[in-house]
Amino acid sequence: MTTTGEITFKTEPFVLNFGPVHPSTHGVYRMRATLDGEVVLDIEPVFGYLHRGIEKLAEERTYTGFIPLTDRLDYISPMSNNLGYCLAVEKLAGIKVPERAEYIRVIIAELQRLANHCIAVGSFLSDCGAMFTPFMYMFREREKILDLFDMVCGQRLTYNYMRIGGVSQDIPDEFLPALHKFMGTMPGMIEEWENLLKQNEILLARTKGVGILPREMAINCGISGPVARGSGVKWDLRKADPYSIYDRFEFDIPTGEVGDCYDRYRVRVEEMKQSLRIIKQAMEKIPSGPIRAEVPHLIRPPAGEAYAHIEAPKGELGFYIVSDNSIAPYRCHVRPTSLINLTALREMVKGWKVADLIAIFGSIDITMGEVDR
């Protein structure tokens, strides 16, 4: 408060609602931000605008019938959700997946990681104000991956491809040549994006040192995936707890050092390169054989509980399923990566500007379908 003569100037923080309808809240997320001019003093996240009660719906569907609904969780990367859920049920029922199906799953899951990071990086850069150019370039690459998914399962968004004990259909004959062609173009495209913005001074100024998430805090908040790895937590479930057949492939875990927005962006791009490596190895080794174990359609897993987690593109995605030996799960809990990754947002944005709030939020990469479920 400043006083000049008789006039008294008073400043007070004001509350600004970001969302639920806002260009860069990635869906219907809402933050009640308390601002002091341009500086963010505090935010309060408000969820629930997309709550559909998927966990309750699971209790009324058969084990197989829930797979289409897992597509609707994280709708940017539904294949990973399919995979996580199927792994959980397989763990519960003790099903061994045929070799070819495992390879197909790995290829598809890594393609899904590429597709998700295209969106994550693209929308993060456009949140930094890059006028949709990187977004468009990355969407173009995602489009090529979606073409491949379309070829495999007949849909471009809600795949419903993985099945308990394998995958629904074998990959068609033209899939591997097309994948080969895609693998030929992708490294060049990644290089193009790197030229576009990697060293751009404005982007560096906007993201370097902004929204630092310290390592200890990342662990304490249960952050996983590229956000945690950006903070220097070398934790990747594909290495730490190899599910499926990930222990057969060679790849590195890229990590950041500082934990700022730029590190998270870099980690995602580096992860895309590692995914390409995994796909290349899997393509070479893919065996022939059955693609699905003998599993009844209305499977009744023995009573018990199981938790299976995968390294989804956004982080640790887990399914905790309790069975009572009926055709439907007794309880199905989804460990929502996006929701838990948002825990640290409040601490990360305090003291930064409004523009940084958007950039930091964009760098976490959430999907509202998974946050609200």
Q: Pick the closest to residue 229 from 26, 333, 353, 365 (CA basis).
A: 365
Residues in region 216-235 near another protein by CB under 8 A: 217, 219-223, 233, 235
Window of 53-61, 73-81, 101-109, 273-281 that interacts with another protein by CB under 8 A: 53-61
3-state SS class at 304: strand
Of 62-70, 98-106, 107-115, 283-291, the segment contacting another protein by CB under 8 A is 62-70
Residues 268-307 that bind another protein (CB under 8 A): 297-298, 307
Binding to another protein (CB under 8 A) within 160-219 occurs at 160, 168-169, 172, 174, 178, 181-182, 185, 192, 195-206, 209-210, 217, 219
Query: Of residues 24, 77, 244, 275, which one binds another protein by CB under 8 A?
Result: 24
**CA 168, CA 171: separation in Å to the nearest integer?**
9
Q: Does 326 bind another protein (CB under 8 A)?
A: no
Nearest residue to 369 via CA among 325, 337, 343? 337
List the one residue from 53, 94, 187, 289 that touches another protein (CB under 8 A). 53
Instruction: Tell which residue, 147, 141, 86, 41, has the closest CA to residue 308.
Output: 86
Rounded CA gap, 233 and 220, in Å? Answer: 11
The yes or no reply on residue 252 touching another protein (CB under 8 A) is no
Question: CB 44 → another protein: shortest distance, Å?
Answer: 9
Q: Judged by CB, which is closer to another protein: 269, or 307?
A: 307
Partnered with residue 353 across adjacent β-strands are: 39
**Smallest distance from the beta carbon of 7 to another protein, in angstroms?**
19
Contact partners, residue 40, CB within 8 Å, separation at least 6:
33, 34, 349, 350, 351, 352, 353, 354, 356, 357
Q: Which of 20, 32, 39, 214 binds another protein (CB under 8 A)?
A: 39
144 touches another protein (CB under 8 A): yes
Q: Does 318 help bind another protein (rule: CB under 8 A)?
A: yes
- 6 or 65, CB closer to another protein? 65
Biggest alpha carbon–alpha carbon distance for the chain:
88
- By beta-carbon proximity to another protein, the closer residue of 192 and 252 is 192
**156: CB partners within 8 A, 6+ apart:** 146, 149, 150
Nearer to another protein, 158 or 273 (CB): 158
CB of 274 to another protein, least distance (A): 20
Q: How far is the CB of 287 from another protein (least distance, A)?
A: 20
Least separation, in Å, of the C-beta of 8 and another protein?
Answer: 20
Per CB under 8 A, does 86 bind another protein?
A: no
325 binds another protein (CB under 8 A): no
Strand order in the sheet with 14-18: 14-18, 30-36, 39-46
Beta strand 331-335 with 39-46 is unpaired
Beta strands in the chain (DSSP E): 2-4, 7-9, 14-18, 30-36, 39-46, 162-163, 166-167, 304-312, 315-323, 331-335
- Binding residues with another protein: total (CB under 8 A): 112
**Least distance from another protein to the Cβ atom of residue 154, Å:** 4
- Alpha helix locations (H) across 128-174? 133-153
